[in-house]
Amino acid sequence: MYSRIVGTGAYLPEKVLTNFDLEKMMDTSDAWIRERTGIERRHIAAEGETTVDLAEHAARRAIDAAGVRPEDIDFIAFGTTTPDLIFPNCGVLLQQRLGCFGCPAFSVETACSGFIYALAIADKFVRAGDAKCALVVGAETLSRITDWSDRSTAVLFADGAGAVVLRPSSEPGILSTHLHADGSYKDLLYCNGGVSRNVVDPARARGTIAMVGNEVFKIAVTTLGKAVDEALAANGLDKSAVDWLVPHQANIRIIQAMARKLDLPLERVIVTVNEHGNTSAASVPMALDAGVRDGRIKPGQLLLLEAFGGGFTWGSALVRL
């Protein structure tokens, strides 16, 4: 038994913030941001619009594309680091919107790799026969934990949501998933807000993102390179077998490094970072949805999904669509 992705969906909030808008807010420039990151614009959730609001749009689109009904969903795995509430978790809040009461629903907080972690867990449940119609979501409102006075991070992060539906299949499907974490890097990328830990200013308890960008960059490239090798080796496949790289959309230069590693021209890499910046757990399912909906990714093709984020946590999934 395998699990197979049978529908994808994505959603970006309406409000667009371009690099030129940021030029008016801080000491930065469109040229610097584009050259260093590839980002041209990002979407920001409206006041009162939450992570689960974005997720619901993406989930309904994935459910429609899969040709199932919301009440058919029997498992929800939700990757996010910007939950609506401490509890109930975002998976449960989304379940309430969709009306698929009773099924397991939970969220996974592994930052940018949240969707890959959620996908790996859902895959195991489907393969074991314990879920027949699993919804996997990655959604974030990172604008709420962005330090808008810090130009080195404020230009990078933004909001969005992506989702897929998994169903059982006798054919693969998801060939394999690989998850990792290394907490010795916890101080290179983190959000300083907390619940059980004292924060300096209780009024700002949710904190803001802090990052040593150039260190994160170097480790991300090396680590993702190894993750790509691991996924291919586990399946006895050569890199030439990969039709599409669907990477975490953090920075065009990290994406280009991964494409070079796989000997893939950039035309065989789904790139959406220019449109929405780094949306953490939402970025991989949004990129997947973009490639599927515009017809570049075709049924039967082999996709390599990968992500890396705060923790550090990272992972990959080799997927036959």
Q: Which residues are marked as active site? A: 112, 248, 278
**Using the rule CB under 6 A, is 32 a contact of ligand ACO?**
yes
**Using the rule CB under 6 A, is 219 a contact of ligand ACO?**
no
CA angle in degrees (0–180, nearest 5) for 297-156-312: 80
Residues 6+ positions from 208 with CB-CB distance below 8 Å: 145, 146, 147, 150, 153, 191, 192, 193
**Using the rule CB under 6 A, is 155 a contact of ligand ACO?**
yes
The values of phi and psi at residue 155, to 5°, are -80, -10
Of the two residues 135 and 191, which places its CB atom closer to ligand ACO in the complex?
191
Single residue of 170, 184, 198, 214 touching ligand ACO by CB under 6 A: 214
Spatial separation of the C-alpha atoms in residues 149 and 120, rounded to whole Å: 36
Single residue of 189, 246, 270, 286 touching ligand ACO by CB under 6 A: 189
Single residue of 34, 36, 180, 296 touching ligand ACO by CB under 6 A: 36
Q: 67: exposed, middle or buried (C-beta count within 10 Å: 0-12, 13-18, 19+)?
A: exposed
**Using the rule CB under 6 A, is 3 a contact of ligand ACO?**
no
Q: How many residues sit in the footprint of ligand ACO (CB under 6 A)?
A: 22
**Using the rule CB under 6 A, is 80 a contact of ligand ACO?**
no
**Using the rule CB under 6 A, is 190 a contact of ligand ACO?**
no
Stretch that binds ligand ACO, among 98-106, 209-217, 260-268, 290-298 (CB under 6 A): 209-217
**Using the rule CB under 6 A, is 151 a contact of ligand ACO?**
yes
- The SS3 call for residue 163 is strand
CA angle in degrees (0–180, nearest 5) for 267-273-276: 140
The CA-based diameter of the chain, rounded to the nearest angstrom, is 55
Single residue of 112, 145, 258, 273 touching ligand ACO by CB under 6 A: 112
C-beta separation of 52 from 94 below 8 A:
yes
Of the two residues 88 and 213, which places its CB atom closer to ligand ACO in the complex?
213
C-beta separation of 13 from 44 below 8 A:
yes
Single residue of 17, 98, 220, 227 touching ligand ACO by CB under 6 A: 220
**Using the rule CB under 6 A, is 216 a contact of ligand ACO?**
yes
Spatial separation of the C-alpha atoms in residues 157 and 141, rounded to whole Å: 9
**Using the rule CB under 6 A, is 305 a contact of ligand ACO?**
no
Q: Please give the structure tokens belonging to residue 62.
A: 């994935």
Q: Which amino acid, residue 184?
A: S
Spatial separation of the C-alpha atoms in residues 162 and 139, rounded to whole Å: 6
Of the two residues 2 and 32, which places its CB atom closer to ligand ACO in the complex?
32
Least distance (Å) from ligand ACO to the CB of residue 282?
Answer: 12
DSSP one-letter code for 278? B
Stretch that binds ligand ACO, among 48-56, 85-93, 245-253, 260-268 (CB under 6 A): 245-253
* Nearest position to ligand ACO, beta carbon: 213
Single residue of 251, 272, 279, 316 touching ligand ACO by CB under 6 A: 251
Least distance (Å) from ligand ACO to the CB of residue 7?
Answer: 26
To 10 degrees, the CA torsion angle through 191, 289, 307, 314? Answer: 90
Residues at the site binding ligand ACO, with contacts judged by CB under 6 A: 28, 32, 36-37, 112, 151-152, 155, 189, 211, 213-214, 216-217, 220, 248, 250-251, 254, 278, 308-309
